[in-house]
Amino acid sequence: MKLVSDYFGCMVFNDEVMKARLDPETYESLKRTIKHGRSLNLSVANAVANAMKDWAIEQGATHYTHWFQPMTGITAEKHDGFIAPAENGKAIMKFSGKELVCGEPDASSFPSGGLRATFEARGYTAWDATSYAFIKDDVLCIPTAFCSYGGEALDKKTPLLRSMEAINRQVLRVLKLFGNEDVTSVKTTVGAEQEYFLVDKDTFAKRKDLLYTGRTLFGAKPPKGQELEDHYFGVIKPRVQAFMKELDEELWRLGVFAKTEHNEAAPSQHELAPVFDTTNIAADHNQLTMEIMQKLAKKHNLVCLLHEKPFEGVNGSGKHNNWSISTNTGVNLLEPGETPFENAQFLLFLTAIIKAVDEYQDLLRISVASAGNDHRLGAHEAPPAVVSMFLGTELTEILEAIEGDTGYGAKEKELLRIGVHTLPKFPKDTTDRNRTSPFAFTGNKFEFRMLGSSASISDANTVLNTAVAEVLKQFADELESAENFQAALHDLIKRTITAHKRVIFNGNGYDEAWLKEAKKRGLSNLQTTPDALRRFTDEKNIALFTSHKVYTEREIRSRYDILMESYCKLLHIEGRTMVDMAMKDILPAVSKYSKQLCDTVLSKRAVCETLDHTYEREVIEEISERAKGVYESTKLLSEALEKAAKINDVTKLAFHYKNKVLSTMRELRKNADALETLVAAEYWPFPTYGELLFGV
């Protein structure tokens, strides 16, 4: 049997391989580049490329690709062979430093939101040397960032890397104030828990809605849903077990630390949690995880659904973004410390995050906005669209004691002074109890739970890093010029708590009452993607991103267009799929079934005028009424979709889809789902929720 420890990372050009295959000088030079984020000089690049090529060929690779994450949210790759003609009509395998460091994919068909006119189609990809190259399906994949020739980001990775630099700069300033002279760099870390559904592939193939949109647009509630709560952490079925085993093995070979696999709350829903890593690597690994989940599922005659709400009435899928900040000396800055001084530092970072989340609620909401996630947020199994923070009782009491100049705890009679008192250790179970909070402190990290399952984690972390960087900048500005550091620190923390405590909420986030309370507190509740996105270009948000050099204003505006556009496109596809299913499948099936019922009535009458046909008649009446409803909504939906073609302004268009298209889709679904419960099973044109959810 092969040991996991033997094959873990065997498909990765990692530090160990680099050390073994590069001459010491090249190795050191590469390491320096990685550490300081500078560009490689050509002779080093050539040596690295050559070693990478030899290694890759030994592992069976024939091609290489610059692997990148365009604005479509999925990864892109264009394969080039290592093969090159040699003089004698033979072939040699070649890979140069230039090819490693920089690529030029024909980028004209990736969304750029007007940043790159199609006549100057070229963008370029640049190696992100902090993320190791790896081999997938015999292709050497080089993780890259994707930019236009003007240097504008065309992808999700570039802003993420910029935001990591921004937070690094500000955290270092703060750490200096606390005398941490040994720390030279800090990185944010993320562990992204991934939820997904597995359905049978043959069943899936019979539903156009799943095929075209990844979610069911029709479907009556099955007799059994998730009410028995028998799926969460339940025994994993053999077919799913086989899938998970292979998934783990493949991820391990790629150096992804897949750690925990279990069933989730809904039937057929599962979760994979990796061990956390540096944010850009975690983002790459999450993309890889999603890709491999989908690929491997097919091999097991399953389909992996990554949509945020594949089924109405059962839980949707999210992605929990566990986030913290780590120093190069190995200290987690969100770990409460052992000494009063460490605690003061912890409290400063904590209050900075509180302020950042409060001031940039809108951006955090925007960072998780998508048509799919709109169906999930606030649907009673996911946090609402209101951003709030859970800190747990103990930590909240500490903040209250600081704010109110009161004593803390039973023994503490003195006032809680920052830098004087030691905080208690917070046992994990007391901080982790609240599962309904969008942004929860879980002992030594924050868990941002609003991300949708299909999202790239890059957007959310770009916002989080930048918002926290901004607040830390303000803090550092103030504290660096303070005469009495201790007093200024105490005052700053106290002031910040008072100004931003409205965002702290330790109660049940799924409760209706919370939404009212949140409104009273002035927290924003941006329920849909268009509502949220409109805030993206607010002056304060542009100021945030531009001042930390994370996005230029042009990049923000182009992203706004891309996000609004993709919302519209998605809803357009959903609308058209519904029209198609209603006209070509549902209504014809209903007609056939009513004909059968009518024929039965006629036959009964022919046999004997007085034979009872109440059942047939009543059902005919009800399905005729419902069918009329379906037909009328279908016509309205078609009209709304046609009208969309005449709207040029992308914001107006998005609101048209939200207000007109989506509401008509809902109306159409209501009648169609009622029909599903009335029409005989053999006539219904597609597999039911029951078959989808319990069929594996």
Q: Which is nearer to ligand ADP, 335 or 517 (CB)?
A: 335
Alpha-carbon span 333 to 325, nearest angstrom: 6
Q: Smallest distance, Å, CB 277 to Mg ion?
A: 16
Identified binder of ligand ADP from the candidate list 113, 267, 274, 316, rule CB under 6 A: 274
Determine the number of helices (DSSP H) and then strands (DSSP E) in the chain. 26, 18
Burial class (CB in 10 A: 0-12, 13-18, 19+), 565: middle
Q: Which does 273 bind (CB under 5 to 8 A by kind): ligand ADP, Mg ion, none?
A: ligand ADP
- Measured from the CB atom, the residue of 362 and 447 that comes closer to Mg ion is 447
Give yes or no for a contact between 423 and 343, defined as CB atoms under 8 angstroms apart: yes
3-state helix, strand, coil in the chain (%, to 5): 50, 15, 35
Classify residue 191 by its DSSP letter: E
190 binds ligand ADP (CB under 6 A): yes
Report the residue from 83, 91, 275, 680 that binds ligand ADP according to the rule CB under 6 A: 275
Query: Which residue among 64, 146, 243, 276 contacts ligand ADP (CB under 6 A)?
Result: 276
Closest listed residue to residue 192, CA positions, set 439, 457, 431, 372: 457
Q: Closest distance between Mg ion and the C-beta of residue 320, in Å?
A: 5
CB of 349 to Mg ion, least distance (A): 21
* C-beta of 455 vs 476, nearer to Mg ion: 455
Closest residue to ligand ADP: CB criterion: 191
User: Using the rule CB under 6 A, is 278 a contact of ligand ADP?
Assistant: no
3-state SS record for 316-335: CCEEEEEEEEEECCCCECCC
| Region of 269-277, 413-421, 461-469, 498-506 interacting with ligand ADP (CB under 6 A) | 269-277
Task: Please select the residue that binds ligand ADP; options are 72, 185, 444, 651, rule is CB under 6 A.
Answer: 444
Q: Name the residue nearer to ligand ADP (CB basis): 274 or 452.
A: 274
* Residue 332 lies near ligand ADP (rule: CB under 6 A): yes
**Contact with ligand ADP (CB under 6 A): which of 324, 436, 458, 529?**
324
Q: Could you say which of ligand ADP, Mg ion, none residue 442 binds, taking C-beta under 5 to 8 angstroms by partner kind?
A: ligand ADP
Closer CB to ligand ADP, residue 189 or residue 327? Answer: 189
Looking at this protein, which amino acid is placed at residue 340? P
Residue of 276, 285, 273 lying closest to 196 (CA atoms): 273
Q: Which does 274 bind (CB under 5 to 8 A by kind): Mg ion, ligand ADP, none?
A: ligand ADP
Contacts with 621 (C-beta within 8 Å, 6 or more apart), sequence order: none
Interface segment toward ligand ADP; rule CB under 6 A; list 114-122, 137-145, 188-196, 609-617: 188-196
456 binds ligand ADP (CB under 6 A): no
Pick from 191, 384, 392, 438 the residue near ligand ADP by CB under 6 A: 191
H helices of 485-613, in order, are 485-500, 512-520, 529-533, 539-547, 553-581, 587-607
CA distance 247 to 299: 11
Residue carrying structure tokens 């647009």: 217
* In the block, residue with structure tokens 């597995």: 198
Closer by beta carbon to Mg ion, 75 or else 437: 437
Contacts with Mg ion by CB under 5 A lie at 320
Contacted entry of ligand ADP, Mg ion, none for residue 252, CB cut-off 5 to 8 Å set by kind: none
Q: First and final CA of the chain: distance in angstroms? A: 29
Instruction: Please state, in angstroms and rounded to a whole number, the distance separating the CA atoms of residues 196 and 286.
Output: 13
By beta-carbon proximity to ligand ADP, the closer residue of 204 and 276 is: 276
Asked if 294 interacts with ligand ADP (CB under 6 A), we say no
Sign, CA torsion 188/191/195/200: positive
Nearer to ligand ADP, 152 or 381 (CB): 381
**CB nearer ligand ADP, residue 217 or residue 333:** 333
Structure tokens at 520: 């009273």
Nearer to Mg ion, 192 or 347 (CB): 192
CB distance 244 to 235 below 8 Å? no
Query: In the numeric block, which tokens belong to residue 544?
Result: 């945030």
Q: Is 446 in the site for ligand ADP (CB under 6 A)?
A: no
> 457: how many CB neighbours lie within 10 A of its CB?
28
Q: Is 687 within 8 Å of 562 (Cβ atoms)?
A: no
Summarize as ranges the residues that interact with ligand ADP (CB under 6 A): 189-191, 193, 273-276, 322-324, 332, 442, 444-445
